[in-house]
Amino acid sequence: MAYFPTEEVVLFGGRTLPPGAVTTIGPEFPIDGCGWERIRIYMSGVLAAVATPFGDGLFRFIKGLNLRTNRGDVIYDNVPGMAAYRLNQMFYHTDPFHDPMLAAGGTFTAVLDLPLGMPFLNRPEDLFLDTGRYSYIELQIATGALAVFAPAAPATCPVTFGMSLVKTLAPLGKRADGSDDPKSKPVNAPYYKSYQNIATGTALQWDLESSMDLGLFGFLVHNHDILLVEGAVPFCHPAAGGVDHIAQITFRDSLRPYINQLPLGAFQKKRRELCPVPWYDQIAVPVVATELPTSNIGIYPHSFVTQGSINEMFATGRKSLLQLSFTLNAGAGTERADLLVWGQRGLR
């Protein structure tokens, strides 16, 4: 593994993040040839007293993250804030910092990382975002309505945010003496995508993208009860009745399955590996909504990478069909399911 000295550079702070809008960050990003390891978002919300607020409301507030370059690279493709929250839990093995929102109101903060280099790889720098290749990088943050903060939406909840970059101290591709070092250049671009939320009563599968330049490292399926008041927000609520309702998951192409009816136990084990600290979800108990550990119920992560090599990716090219499907346990009710995938794409 090569190690690159890094620094965290603050780009701005105290900027308004309005509800129901798209905020674009572009000119603020330094295009200096350095490699980006992660983007960090700092959020602060001022909530008045409100009944049963959702503790993780600041993460729910981010409806979609889209990170693109002038060359057409799509790094983050419509990833909700709570999906990025799950990535933080899996990649860094801890719960991202946030002040749980309380009924008494107050000022609450949260910090969310957008990983670029993937820490489970032997060489995370292989997927650093190399700004020397681009003339412009743009991040769009789409936000939801105020109803994401509590069942009875507060009249206001002003949110401000700031942003920083964790990046290499020097441009990639150069040695300390200034000579060229092509081995330090990233080999591909990171890729994260959230697929359409589906109702399990009408569909039990997603058809995935097949492309010669796309390799997948892993996926996360999340199922939940749409009857809960926060059912409109993907990736953030417990399974119906507090139990796992997905029995098996299959991942296949037109010729053969690569994951064939993988049972619940495999995902329960992977939950413990990826995030030993229990993940938190919102549960009404029974009048006051609070955060309680749910033993990661409803979360089904899988990684194709077991030894830390980018060559362990699942290559999606030349597939006439690429499908992820699942079956439900008896007794599963009216539910929804979300899908997040991560991997790498060829540089454009």
CATH of the domain at 260: 2.60.120.730
**234: nearest Cα among 318, 95, 94, 337:** 337
Radius of gyration of the chain (CA): 20
pLDDT in tens, 4-63: 788 999 999 999 999 999 999 999 999 999 999 999 999 999 999 888 888 888 998 999
Is 194 a residue whose pLDDT tops 70? yes
Domain count of the chain?
1
- Backbone φ, ψ for residue 22 (5° rounding): -115, 120
Q: Has residue 252 been placed in a domain?
A: yes
pLDDT of residue 2: 52
Which pLDDT does position 242 carry in this prediction?
A: 65
> Quick one: which of 152, 214, 163 has its CA closest to 188?
214
Instruction: List CB contacts of 176: < 8 A, sequence separation 6 or more.
Output: none
* Average pLDDT taken over every residue of the chain: 86
Residue 81, φ and ψ in degrees, nearest 5: -60, -40
User: Is residue 80 scored above 90 in pLDDT?
Assistant: yes
Residue 58's closest CA among 90, 100, 106, 102?
Answer: 100
**Within-domain flag for 66:** yes
Structural domain that includes position 147: 6-345
Contact assessment for residue 297 and residue 237, using Cβ atoms and an 8 Å cutoff:
no
Instruction: Please report whether residue 138 resides in a domain.
Output: yes
Q: Is 264 contained in some domain?
A: yes
Structural domain includes residue 213: yes
Q: If pLDDT is split at 50, 70 and 90, which confidence band does 180 have?
A: low
Percent of the chain with pLDDT strictly greater than 90: 55
Would 1 be classed as within a structural domain? no
pTM score: 0.91
Mean pLDDT of 300-315: 94
State the Cα–Cα distance between residues 254 and 217, nearest whole angstrom. 20
Question: What is the sign of the dihedral through the CA atoms of 240, 244, 245 and 246?
Answer: positive
Domain assignment present for residue 158? The answer is yes
Rounded Cα–Cα distance for residues 344 and 191 (Å) = 5
- Lowest-pLDDT range, 78-87, 143-152, 161-170? 143-152
Contact between 225 and 231 under an 8 Å Cβ cutoff? The reply is yes
